[in-house]
Structure 1
Amino acid sequence: MNLKKINFFYFLGIGGIGMSSLARYFNTMGKTVYGHDQNKTFLTKELEKEGISINYHDNIEILPKWILSKECLIVYTPAIPKHHKQWTYLKKYGKNIKKRSQVLALITENEICIAIGGTHGKTTTCTLLGHILYSVGMNVTAFLGGISENYQSNLILNNVLNGRKFFLVEADEFDYSFLYLSPNIACITSFDQDHVDIYPIENDLKKAYVAFSNRIKKPYKKIFLCKEECKKESFICGNTIYYSVIKKDNYYANHLYIKKNKWYFDFHTPRETWKSLPLPIPGLHNLKNVTAALAISDYLKITQKEIRKALFLFKGIKRRYSIHYQSSKKIYIDDYAHHPTEINALISTVKKCFPNKKILGIFQPHLFSRTKFFEKSFAKSLENLDILILLDIYPARELDKKNGINSNNLLEKIRISYKEISTLAKVLEKIKKKHFDIILTMGAGDIDTLIIPIKKWLNKQYG
């Protein structure tokens, strides 16, 4: 398909983080962009402010007149329910229909593409790398899986005349989406099992990543792997570049230390050592992500001076260790953590940053299949909290797959004294009755709707 001949775009599920970055991209290209989503959110409101029309009702009468034209591309996410009326109609009568990942592949197929994959850390790695490339004036378009605090968007776009154009994308393993991509440079941050509805057997996930690595093409044809996360025997090829925060390898980081509540580290390239770089997001897990972004940046011949400046100016990503309130009495941090490994890393980091503080955690499990599969691991990670308020499971695409799974099953396995279940609507009243130093909200569902109410209460109560 030639995207230049497409003048109209209709996004089914436009409020998704991956879908919205594509919608923004085509909107900036001067195309006519419409979309549908179930709910009006902060992100959909931002898209509407940018001139994108969005409807929130599932009926076909409100579809634009050009929807069945050959000049229209209908873009959908696999999360759209099968019984969805608009989706049923468009599948039957639409002329051009593509998955989000297929469209991303079309955009990048004839350009230099850098793809960041992995269970954890791809959004942080991708956002920081996009920020570095933008900061040094490269011709870069980055599609992000989170909202950059620097650019207040999940799309970084720097159309400059000089230099070859680079596209930076996240390689999403869900539904084998990343196998549509053919990047020139790839990075795999970790191999943890996560989407168990797609990869019920761990070996299936590893095979998918090997297949992804085999799609890397010239020029460059390089893959960056985290040494401690990736088993070397799975990727025996001459095009592998390793990075690490434990072992001395092609690229590695060490001497992580905290000074006046700020984190610093040393970074080693194959040629030199860069001393006392700032770690913009705290935690050993984020050091891995930053090391990956710096390794790729150095490989692209960006200088230490330019990278150091970009690190100092990096403001982070929304919902990645986002501190929303901090006073001498209370601290409130929100994070996207929705996997046991991510929860462990988050709580460990909070304890290092704020030792001897009483932590109240509010966690919203995401997906019935994930909750069931990782039930014991979730329980163990949540036991690192002092107090837990566990929310109902956010079903996302699994509305009809409860199979008797609920948050009570998980709560029973968590061995801490202070724990309880709550609905999203009642959680703020429960928080007000707790004794704590730090609040953590964690999860990938709609738990982010608590951020503003919690901030308002803290500001009113503690100034």
Structure 2
Amino acid sequence: MNVAQIHRVYFIGIGGIGMSALARYFAFIDKTVAGYDKTESPLTQELAASGMDIHYKDSVDLVAEVYKNDSEHTLVVYTPAVPSNHKEYQFFLQNGFTIKKRSEVLGLITKDSFCLAVAGTHGKTTTSSILAHLLKETGVKMTAFLGGISEDFNSNFLLEGTEYSVVEADEFDRSFMQLTPNVACVTSMDADHLDIYGDAQELEKTFKDFTERLKPGGTLFVRNGLPLKGLTYGIEDDSDYCIRNIKIEHGTYIFDLETPDLKLEGVEFNKPGRHNLLNGLVAFAMAMQAGPPPHRLAQALSTFKGVQRRFSYQIKN
């Protein structure tokens, strides 16, 4: 796929959180974007308000002629949730259009950047949102595709540059096997999506396969205790990256953060829960690989607001 040859992009399932981030990306780089979704939502309303032509009935007649008549310059992106008998999907399939899953397109977009990929059955969205926030605050030129709406920039997509990219490495439908990251983490490998994998052993094997997709010289971070080889992270243990001496003051965690090379004291983080401390720690460790000064990353960690609908403060005294 040569992005330069694409003039327009049509999304089947444009309202999904990952799909809408891709739609924003293509609009940002001046491609014409349209799409279908089953139901209207705040996300699709935002996309439509930005100028995208969106409809909610599976009908080829509702697809603008400019998309249907130019298979050479039109890319069709679909979500795995779309059934194979979907009328619009079948039209594009039978008429020679380039049709790709969201994960394939994400892999193609990010392969030439320094890619930081967050994998795990839990914690992907929070960790990737923290990572994007840290890089943005420290001036790293990056693009972020998130699986939730970050409260820090009120979007699931951020484009500050193209040298670096932040992505969620989704295990659903083995989507993350399309990525070739420079830096990756695995936050968890709980038995999930067993309708796809069959059993926990196959899920675990696929996560291991994903870690082997790292580019040569790449760096893998693994939550301490998971059966994978990489730099470990944890709390009050023997991890390579470790949080110690935790205190809580006025709802804020204050702790020491140790890396293989340095120790930062009095680091602050405002999201509740041990799991969020771990998410913040590995996001910090990954962000270090992009080169910002560690003390600046620690300052940025203290200002992370969160992901909408996940631990959002309505009132905080």
Matches within 5 A, 1:4-403: 4-68=4-68, 69=70, 70-159=72-161, 165-218=163-216, 220-228=217-225, 230-231=226-227, 234-235=228-229, 240-324=230-314
Do the aligned residues in 1 keep the contact of 2:233 with 2:282 (CA within 8 Å)?
A: yes
Counterpart Cα distance in 1 of 2:35 and 2:164: 27
Aligned-pair CA distance for 1:185: 1.0
One-letter amino acid of the structure 2 residue matched with residue 223 of structure 1: L
One-letter amino acid of the structure 1 residue matched with residue 24 of structure 2: R
Counterpart Cα distance in 1 of 2:133 and 2:316: 26
Counterpart Cα distance in 1 of 2:234 and 2:249: 23
Aligned-pair CA distance for 1:80: 1.0
Aligned-pair CA distance for 1:137: 1.1
Unaligned 5+ segments in structure 1 are 328-463
Counterpart Cα distance in 2 of 1:48 and 1:255: 49
Q: How many residues align?
A: 315
Aligned-pair CA distance for 1:4: 1.3
Do the aligned residues in 2 keep the contact of 1:143 with 1:169 (CA within 8 Å)?
A: yes
Counterpart Cα distance in 1 of 2:140 and 2:291: 12
Do the aligned residues in 1 keep the contact of 2:183 with 2:289 (CA within 8 Å)?
A: no
SS of structure 2 residue aligned to 1:267: strand
TM-score by length of 1: 0.66
Aligned-residue RMSD, C-alpha = 1.6
Unaligned 5+ segments in structure 2 are none
| Deviation sequence 1:228-271 (CA, Å, 0-9, x none) | 3x11xx43xxxx21111241221111222211222222211112
| Deviation sequence 1:66-89 (CA, Å, 0-9, x none) | 324210000000011233222222
SS of structure 1 residue aligned to 2:107: helix
Aligned-pair CA distance for 1:58: 1.3
Matches within 5 A, 1:422-433: none
| Greater C-alpha Rg | 1
Aligned-pair CA distance for 1:325: 5.1
TM-score by length of 2: 0.95
One-letter amino acid of the structure 1 residue matched with residue 10 of structure 2: Y
Counterpart Cα distance in 1 of 2:246 and 2:260: 19
Which residue of the partner structure matches residue 422 of structure 1?
A: none
| Deviation sequence 1:353-408 (CA, Å, 0-9, x none) | xxxxxxxxxxxxxxxxxxxxxxxxxxxxxxxxxxxxxxxxxxxxxxxxxxxxxxxx
Aligned-pair CA distance for 1:132: 0.9
Aligned-pair CA distance for 1:94: 4.4
Do the aligned residues in 1 keep the contact of 2:270 with 2:302 (CA within 8 Å)?
A: yes
Do the aligned residues in 2 keep the contact of 1:193 with 1:199 (CA within 8 Å)?
A: no
One-letter amino acid of the structure 2 residue matched with residue 125 of structure 1: T
Counterpart Cα distance in 2 of 1:111 and 1:301: 15
SS of structure 2 residue aligned to 1:323: coil
SS of structure 2 residue aligned to 1:198: helix
One-letter amino acid of the structure 2 residue matched with residue 63 of structure 1: V
**Which structure's relative contact order is higher, taking Cα pairs within 8 Å and 6+ residues apart?**
2
Do the aligned residues in 2 keep the contact of 1:9 with 1:73 (CA within 8 Å)?
A: yes
Aligned-pair CA distance for 1:302: 2.0
One-letter amino acid of the structure 2 residue matched with residue 102 of structure 1: E
Aligned-pair CA distance for 1:305: 2.6
SS of structure 2 residue aligned to 1:66: helix
Do the aligned residues in 2 keep the contact of 1:7 with 1:31 (CA within 8 Å)?
A: yes
The 1:5–1:169 alpha-carbon spacing in structure 2 relative to 1, beyond 3 Å, is same
Counterpart Cα distance in 2 of 1:296 and 1:326: 30
| Deviation sequence 1:260-296 (CA, Å, 0-9, x none) | 2222222111122212212221100101100101111
Counterpart Cα distance in 1 of 2:49 and 2:33: 13
Do the aligned residues in 2 keep the contact of 1:66 with 1:72 (CA within 8 Å)?
A: no
Do the aligned residues in 2 keep the contact of 1:116 with 1:187 (CA within 8 Å)?
A: yes
One-letter amino acid of the structure 1 residue matched with residue 260 of structure 2: P
Aligned-pair CA distance for 1:193: 1.3
Do the aligned residues in 2 keep the contact of 1:8 with 1:71 (CA within 8 Å)?
A: yes
Counterpart Cα distance in 1 of 2:194 and 2:14: 25
